[in-house]
Amino acid sequence: MADNTCLPRRRAPLSQLFQPDLPRETPVADAIGATIGVTIDGMETKVPLGTTILEAAKSMGVRIPTLCHHPDLEVAGICRICVVEVEGQKTLQAACAYPITAPVRIKTYSKAVRIARRHVLDLLLSEHCGDCYSCIRNGICELQQLAEEYGVDGFRFGHVEEPVAIDDSSFSIVRDMNKCIRCRRCVRTSIDVQEVGVLEAMNRSNKVEISTFMQKPLGNEICINCGQCINRCPTAALYANPALDQVWKALDDPNKHVVIQTAPSPRAAMGECFGLAPGTSVTYQMNTGLKRMGFDHVFDTNFTADLTIIEEGTELVLRLYKALVEGETSVALPQFTSCSPGWVKYCEHFYPEFIPNLSTAKSPQQMFGALIKTFYADKLGLDPKNIVSVALMPCSAKKFECNRPEMVDSGYQDVDFGLTTRELGKMFHQAGLDVPTMPKSDFDDPFGGATGSGLIFGATGGVMESALRTVIELVTGRKVESIFEQGDIIPVRGFEGVRYVEVKIPDVGPVPDILKHLVPNWDWLKGATLKVAVAHGTANAKKVMEDIKHGGKFSHCHFIEFMACPGGCLGGGGQPIPTSKEIRAARAKAIYSEDHELDIRKSYENPAVVKVYEEFLTDGPCGHKSHELLHTHYVARGKHIE
């Protein structure tokens, strides 16, 4: 593992990189809020001081092409495809990195600009492996689209003759540096967005290359598999390690019983693979498409999201009881969520001393895998070795998670293959299925039942809200709707990097039957304040972890939700490209809207979950059977974790 201290420092924001020279007679304070007159292609407007030319043009409906620029990332000004003419400047200027500090006239498509952009494209293509027809990003490659726009019909400056080897050592991410244009989006994502630093630009000038630490294979690096670099790469230099062929092979085998579980986030994004607006839900149309493709059963991952809430919530109650009532000083608090495999791997790499704080509850994906090859196999009289369990996830890290050596509690690999949203979209196209036009069909039993709590797992804060909905009702005996309007726990929602919330427990009710074997009463929680927090993106996770290390506010929390990806699962590394704050917000809106449409919105009320405890996990939540199948016992960095 690379030493954290060797990671590059975070870049300064644009406001620090560019400090415009104001007239001496104008105090800086007076310039705050000032607007500047701008003329772009003959059209006039006013923009706030410091607005970039790219931003100003966008506000006027003028499109300037970009490659290194991304709305989630800091300015780089590397690729120069966005050059424009600025009156009074001797050379063309990069629109993404030019702050407007005085009235200015700009041309965005003059002859000089068009020639320069064409030259830039020709130079990029001279070092780019141009096997577009066989490329995984064919049709959705930003470089390919610009080449078509600017009439590139050959390799004017030569072409790569000796491609370098592709790195497919990671279960999650493939690196093909033959297609890298050195825009450094992946580098800025790794350093600025996630603060992992697994990628960096090495050397200078025309010898620059994007590399891992000591040029190690990605599978041997500190990569957390989140795939955020994939979502921002403009070409196919990075892509999720595909499982399409293996899944098709299983579907074509008459001796295999193939089932699939579908996570909530892909349903709010799959429509984008068919040209629909972000946030257009196609949940039930997707079920029909999957059955037509040949899957024997289609299940809802929300079912095991509900199961996760019961197991993880019970675990939290037990930790609090041991600490507050029995006085055990060794109890690891705050308890951390463990359903994001990218976050778990981040914790293992950078904060191994806090591994005991991770909930032992498996992720919903892995809980489902264990049940499929035990409970489900017994119920249908199937031999588990003939069951192929597939998981549709918004996440490239799920590919790594299902291949972790400890994920075999069913006696077999619990989940055989992880498919990203993008991969399943491609499979639908290969099968000639137009998902948005499919008739609707429901999920299959015995795992058809799910709740709104399971559904909102897909958004940052969703796990915490789901847990609170259940914990509040089980402890207080009151409906959560009597405390939060419509049961929506708004304080834990939103896209702020870190949220901290306190929930008062003024009174308590009787212990429900499902938990009576664990705690005698709730008197010890009467009048208590439950302190929780939510963080999404590992850069924000780092802020919380450093605060905890130094005894800050978050060290006094009882429960903290961490998600590796910005926005949570709906912004996962396997979701459709492109991604932005607006797109992630649209997907979140779809998830919360569907939550309101469901009759049951609390995990503990899910009748299918209740049935599993009655028929299979008969010793209840956190009992022997559930610990055997639904909780993790693994070796991480030389320590055995119970």
CATH at residue 569: 3.40.950.10
In terms of domains, do 355 and 387 share one?
no
Q: Are residues 598 and 499 in the same domain?
A: yes
Q: Is residue 465 among the annotated active site residues?
A: no
pLDDT score recorded for residue 14 = 38
At 634, the pLDDT band (50, 70, 90 cuts) reads: very low
Share of the chain above pLDDT 90, in %: 87
Q: What's the gap between Cα 336 and its chain centre?
A: 17
> Which of 312, 465, 473, 594 does the annotation list as catalytic?
312
- Same domain? 549 vs 417: no
Question: Given 382, 402, 437, which residue is the final one in a domain?
Answer: 437
pLDDT of residue 11: 43
Distance CA 372, CA 358 (A): 25
Q: What is the pLDDT of residue 638?
A: 35
Q: Is 339 part of the annotated catalytic residue set?
A: yes
Is residue 312 annotated as part of the catalytic site, yes or no? yes
Q: What is the mean pLDDT of residues 575-598?
A: 96
Based on the residue annotation, tell me whether 328 is a catalytic residue of this protein: no
Catalytic residue among 195, 200, 221, 315: 315
Among the three residues 437, 462, 478, which one is the final residue of a domain in this structure? 437
Strands 257-262 and 297-300, by their bridges, are parallel
Q: In this predicted structure, what is the pLDDT of residue 251?
A: 98
Say yes or no to pLDDT of 640 above 70. Answer: no
% of the chain surpassing 70 pLDDT: 94
Query: Which CATH number does the domain housing residue 277 bear?
Result: 3.40.50.1780
Burial 91-120 (b: 16+ CB within 10 A, else e): ebbbbbbbbbbeebebbbeeeebeebbbeb
* Residue 642 clears pLDDT 70, i.e. is over it: no
Domain co-membership, 553 together with 410: no
Categorize the per-residue pLDDT at 160 as very low, low, confident or very high, splitting at 50, 70 and 90: confident
Task: Choose, from 339, 347, 565, 622, the residue flagged as catalytic.
Answer: 339
User: Which residue among the candidates 265, 281, 338, 359 is catalytic per the annotation?
Assistant: 359
Among 55, 127, 406, 628, the one annotated catalytic: 406
Q: Are residues 263 and 372 in the same domain?
A: yes
Render pLDDT for 519-567 as a digit per residue (tens, 0 to 9).
999 999 999 999 999 999 999 999 999 999 999 999 999 999 999 999 9
Q: Is residue 347 part of a domain?
A: yes
State how far the Cα of 434 lies from the Cα of 431, in Å rounded to an integer. 9
Dihedral sign for Cα atoms in the order 348, 352, 356, 357: negative
Q: Which two tokens stand for residue 624?
A: 């022997």
From the list 195, 401, 465, 594, the catalytic residue is 401
Active site residue 161: no
Total domains, the chain: 2
pLDDT confidence tier of residue 1, bands split at 50, 70 and 90: very low
pLDDT in tens, 210-264: 999 889 999 999 999 999 999 999 999 999 999 999 999 999 999 999 999 999 9
Which of the four pLDDT bands, split at 50, 70 and 90, describes residue 31?
A: low
pLDDT at 468: 97
**Are 421 and 482 in a shared domain?**
no
32 pLDDT band, cuts 50/70/90, is low
More confident call, 28 vs 302:
302
Q: Are residues 517 and 551 in the same domain?
A: yes
Q: Is residue 404 in some structural domain?
A: yes
**531 by DSSP, 3-state: which?**
strand
Digit-coded pLDDT (tens) for 77-86: 999 999 999 9
Domain for residue 38, yes or no?
A: no
Q: Given a cut of 80, is residue 5 above it in pLDDT?
A: no
Q: What is the pLDDT of residue 17?
A: 38
What one-character-per-residue DSSP string does 8-52 give?
A: PPPPPPHHHH------TTS-HHHHTT-EEEEEETTEEEEEETT-B
Specify whether 624 is located in the same domain as 540.
yes
Would you place residue 7 in the very low, low, confident or very high pLDDT band (cuts 50, 70, 90)? very low
- Tell me if 356 is assigned to some domain: yes
Q: Which residues pair with 534 in a beta bridge?
A: 499, 561
Establish whether 406 is a catalytic residue. Answer: yes
Neighbours of 296 (CB within 10 A): 16
Report the candidate in 226, 162, 235 with the shortest Cα–Cα distance to residue 199: 226
Of 85, 569, 603, 622, the active-site residue reads: 569
- Considering the domain boundaries, does residue 516 fall inside one? yes
DSSP 486: G
Q: Note whether 475 and 497 are same-domain residues.
A: yes
* Within-domain flag for 533: yes
* 79-121 pLDDT, tens digit each: 999 999 999 999 999 999 999 999 999 999 999 999 999 999 9
Note whether 399 and 506 are same-domain residues. Answer: no
**Does residue 91 lie within any of the structural domains?**
no
- Which of these is catalytic: 179, 345, 362, 398? 398
Give this prediction's pTM. Answer: 0.92
Q: Count of alpha carbons within 13 Å of 300, Cβ hemisphere only?
A: 30
Q: Residue 354: count other Cβ atoms within 10 Å of its Cβ.
A: 16
**Does residue 295 sit within a domain?**
yes
Q: Could you say which DSSP state residue 80 is in?
A: -
Are 354 and 374 contained in the same domain? no
Judge if 356 and 370 occupy the same domain: no
Return mean pLDDT, the chain: 92
Of 411, 437, 463, the residue at which a domain comes to its end is 437
Domain that holds residue 485: 311-361+454-581+592-641
